[in-house]
Amino acid sequence: MKIKTTILTLVFSTFLSLYSFAGESPVNSTVERDVRVEYGEFKNHHLLDNHSFKLFKYETDEKTKYVSFPLPIILWDNGVQTFLSSRFYFGKKVVEHNGSFYKLYHNKIYKTDKLGTINYDENDKVLNEMPLDFSITKNVVLILICLVLMLVIFGRMAKSYKNNPIPTGIGRLLEPIVLYIRDDIARPNIGEKHYKRYMSFLLTVFFFIWIVNLFGLTPIGSNVTNNIAVTASLAILTYLITTFTANKSYWGHIFWMPGVPVPMKILLAPIELLGTIIKPFSLMIRLYANITAGHVVLMSILGLIFIFKNLLGGTLSFGLAFALSLLELLVCALQAYIFTMLSALYFGSAVEEHHDEH
């Protein structure tokens, strides 16, 4: 059951993250702002999902060269079209494949001509046709790595209990966390009678968010929960589980509150129903906003090193960034805890037995 829930959560996140795109900041050609503009583009690039893992770049006498790990591009355009993202050369080249031309523009793939022409309407909206994009991006790769990592770790941890009640290896580290989620999150908020039904999801979502948040702190990692589609998929799963496991008492208090005059029941029912949608929406925004804000602040502080260009400013910026990085390690686990705790609260409200006194 736990493995099925793990696969469902991560596959659903992967599917939605395929459709999340973001634009790039415009380039300012003013010489005095070259450093700030270049670092601003680097910061935005770090926060965005991409079609390749860019490692580093270096200058030669002729041009700038990039070293990266390309990912597969998968398009549906009169059939499946596949090729490596390296052919785009980070959006600088037009790709000709099976007689069609494609251009990577602002992290989106458009059909174009041989020259890579992008057409706009009067509102600066791109008119070029977009093929259906199922490409494997950085976020998708890291989600799949997280899936494999969790299956291996928890699979081995489960096997270790067959012959020995005391866990070994990494199980010694993870067992207190699992017990904490069970005894301090699931049982108090859901209840002794129903908490086991939700443990697999709560454990999956906690460790998934924690691990992908830690990936975001690595040099070549991508900030997965900075992708609104990923946080939305997790919130939608919480909403669906809450909705389809709720008892009659839960729905009765939404559509026909006991002890309330009939005119007020008619007025409050739509508001209560809207509240069931607002709860997962707040889950989505809270996780997305907190993780994104932390990375923006951290990258901005690091950028001061290149702007000050002196020993004092660079030292202060590095020290502050180092302290903030340690704080980010705490935030990674804290956001996983908050999402898990609130999900447990919603599950508890869905299965709570109400005893109304008249």
Residues 188 and 333 placed together within one structural domain of the fold: yes
- Same domain, yes or no: 288 and 171: yes
Is residue 39 situated within a structural domain? Answer: no
Of the candidates 168, 173, 167, the one whose C-alpha atom is nearest the C-alpha of residue 210 is 173
Distance CA 96, CA 337 (A): 47
| Cα 213 from chain centre | 8
d(Cα 131, Cα 32) in Å, to the nearest integer? 40
Tokens found for residue 5: 């829930």
**Residues 256, 253: Cα–Cα separation, whole Å:** 6
Q: In angstroms, rounded to a whole number, what is the distance separating the alpha carbons of residues 35 and 40?
A: 8
Among 136, 165, 199, which residue terminates a domain? 136
Cβ-based neighbours of 107, under 8 Å, separated by 6 or more: 21, 22, 23, 24, 48, 49, 50, 51
pLDDT of residue 26: 38
What the block records as the tokens of 175 is 């067992």
What is the pLDDT, as a whole number, of residue 6? Answer: 53
Please name which of 191, 152, 138, 134 lies closest in space to residue 6, comparing C-alpha atoms: 152
In a domain, 259, yes or no: yes
Question: 86 lies in which domain range?
Answer: 54-136
Give every CB contact of residue 276 below 8 A, 6+ residues apart in sequence.
Answer: 239, 242, 243, 254
Q: Residues with Cβ < 8 Å from 300, sequence gap 6 or more?
A: 43
Is 222 found in the same domain as 112? Answer: no
Domain co-membership, 217 together with 336: yes
| 40 occurs within a structural domain | no
Query: Can you tell me the distance from the alpha carbon of 244 to that of 126, in angstroms, rounded to the nearest whole number?
Result: 41
* Cβ atoms < 10 Å from Cβ of 191: 14
Compute mean pLDDT per 10 residues along the chain, 358 residues long, and list them: 53 48 38 56 66 74 74 89 85 86 86 88 85 88 91 86 76 88 93 90 94 84 83 94 86 74 77 85 89 78 72 75 82 92 92 62
For 264-291, what is each residue's pLDDT tens digit? 777 777 887 888 888 889 999 989 888 8
Domain end call among 81, 112, 136 = 136
Residue 114 lies in a domain: yes
The letter for the amino acid at 34 is D
In a domain? residue 216? yes
The answer to whether 314 and 308 have CB atoms below 8 angstroms apart is yes
Instruction: Report pLDDT for 24.
Output: 37
**Boundary of a domain, candidates 115, 136, 157:** 136
- Both tokens of 159, joined, read 């096997």
- In order of 6, 26, 45, the CA distances from 296 in angstroms are 30, 18, 11
| Amino acid in position 25 | S
- Whether residue 69 is found in the same domain as residue 160: no
> In this structure, are 227 and 317 located in the same domain?
yes
Look at residue 38 in the predicted model and tell me its pLDDT.
61
**37 found inside a domain:** no
pLDDT value of position 354: 61
Those residues with Cβ within 8 angstroms of residue 25's Cβ, 6 or more apart along the chain or in another chain: 40, 41, 44
Longest dimension (CA), the chain: 85
Q: Are residues 144 and 181 in the same domain?
A: yes
Do 338 and 190 reside in the same domain of the chain? yes
Contact of 224 with 143, CB cutoff 8 Å: yes
Q: Are residues 326 and 178 in the same domain?
A: yes
Same domain flag for 157 and 121? no
Answer for the pair 123, 115: CB distance below 8 angstroms, yes or no. Answer: no
**Residue 9 domain flag:** yes
- 0.75 exceeded by the pTM? yes
> How many domains does the chain fold into?
2
In a domain, 26, yes or no: no
CB atoms near residue 58 (< 10 Å):
8
225 C-beta neighbours (distance < 10 Å), count: 27
Q: By the 8 A CB rule, do 98 and 109 touch?
A: no
Owner of token pair 């302290």: 323
The answer on 282 and 160 residing in a single domain is yes
In a shared domain, residues 151 and 132: no
